[in-house]
């Protein structure tokens, strides 16, 4: 991989990764991603089917690397939207924007330091209310949020229905109802992402630091 993030990865891998006597490390598995292409991130609490959605979007050609200075893994992959290569980052599970664990800190650092064209907040339809609390925090931070209400298959089986239009109106951001494990709504999410990326100017790469 050739984006600025990974140079950071190679150069300053931090204290825990300082064992440079290992000849090959986490960057052995390279992935060609257009360096200046847009990036999107998947965020959400643990157990909402985030990694299944990630693989549904990107396939299995991904890199797993440690976030600089930590043992937390961040998975990156690529997808094509409107003939454009878009890199996708699967962030570690987070409960709130105020981190407790190292994983949450990494997830938040990523959101705040990297330029994302869109941030997909994946949540579990059955626990909509509980999980919207994080959506609210992402919106307070004025991040480009798209809400992906996942696990709709289970919600349906439980006899639940969700009013998408009402949700869009309340939140003021795009909402997709889906079940990534069954490949429901994944195409719709792609379209929503494409619209979002087309309507915003390509993000300027922030200075490394």
Residue selected from 12, 80, 170, 191 as contacting another protein according to rule CB under 8 A: 170
At residue 102, the 3 state secondary structure works out as helix
Do residues 82 and 198 make contact, with C-beta atoms less than 8 angstroms apart?
A: yes
Q: Does 45 bind another protein (CB under 8 A)?
A: yes
Taking the complex as a whole, the smallest distance from the CB of residue 11 to another protein amounts, in Å, to 18
Q: Which residue in 10, 12, 29, 80 binds another protein (CB under 8 A)?
A: 29
From the list 31, 79, 85, 139, which residue makes contact with another protein (rule: CB under 8 A)? 139
Number of residues that bind another protein (CB under 8 A): 71
Q: How far is the CA of 132 from the CAs of 11, 42, 176, 190, 205, in angstroms?
A: 38, 15, 14, 21, 29
Residue 172 binds to another protein (criterion: CB under 8 A): yes
Judged by beta carbon, residue 71 or residue 80, the one nearer another protein is 71
**What gap in Å lies between CA 59 and CA 79, rounded to an integer?**
8
Q: Which range binds another protein by CB under 8 A, 17-25, 31-39, 78-86, 189-197?
A: 17-25
- 128-140 vs 164-171: helix axis angle to the nearest 10? 30
Provide, rounded to whole angstroms, the least separation between the CB of residue 60 and another protein. Answer: 5
Give kind and range of the element (H or E) at residue 65: strand 63-66
Supply 156's token pair.
Answer: 């349906």
Query: Least distance to another protein from the beta carbon of 194, Å?
Result: 21
* DSSP assignments along 121-137, one per residue: EEEEGGGHHHHHHHHHH
> Is residue 142 a contact point for another protein (CB under 8 A)?
yes
Strand 175-177 and strand 145-150: pairing? parallel
Positions in 96-135 near another protein (CB under 8 A):
96-101, 105, 109, 111-113, 115-116, 125-133, 135
Which position among 32, 64, 80, 202 is part of the footprint of another protein (CB under 8 A)?
Answer: 64
Minimal CA–CA distance to 92: which of 105, 79, 80? 105
Q: Which CB sits closer to another protein, 7 or 82?
A: 7
Nearest CB to another protein, comparing residues 11 and 129: 129
182: nearest Cα among 48, 56, 44 = 56
Q: Using the rule CB under 8 A, is 79 a contact of another protein? A: no
CB of 38 to another protein, least distance (A): 14
84 binds another protein (CB under 8 A): no
For 114, half-sphere exposure in the C-beta direction (CA atoms, 13 angstrom radius) is 27
How is residue 179 written in tokens? 């079940």
């Amino acid at each position: 991989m050739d984006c600025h993030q990974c140079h950071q990865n190679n150069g300053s891998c931090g204290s825990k990764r300082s064992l440079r006597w290992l000849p090959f490390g986490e960057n052995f598995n390279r992935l060609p991603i257009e360096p200046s292409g847009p990036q999107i991130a998947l965020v959400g609490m643990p157990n909402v089917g985030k990694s299944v959605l990630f693989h549904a979007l990107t396939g299995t050609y991904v890199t797993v690397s440690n976030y600089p200075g930590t043992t937390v893994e961040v998975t990156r992959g690529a997808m094509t939207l409107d003939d454009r290569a878009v890199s996708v980052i699967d962030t570690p599970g987070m409960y709130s924007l105020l981190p407790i664990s190292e994983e949450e800190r990494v997830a938040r650092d990523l959101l705040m330091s990297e330029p994302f064209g869109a941030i997909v907040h994946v949540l579990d339809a059955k626990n909509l209310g509980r999980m919207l609390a994080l959506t609210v925090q992402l919106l307070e931070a004025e991040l480009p949020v798209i809400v992906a209400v996942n696990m709709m298959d289970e919600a349906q089986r439980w006899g639940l229905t969700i009013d998408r239009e009402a949700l869009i109106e309340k939140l003021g951001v795009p909402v997709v109802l889906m079940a990534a494990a069954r490949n429901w709504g994944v195409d719709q999410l792609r379209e929503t992402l494409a619209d979002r990326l087309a309507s915003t100017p390509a993000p300027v790469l922030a200075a490394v630091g």
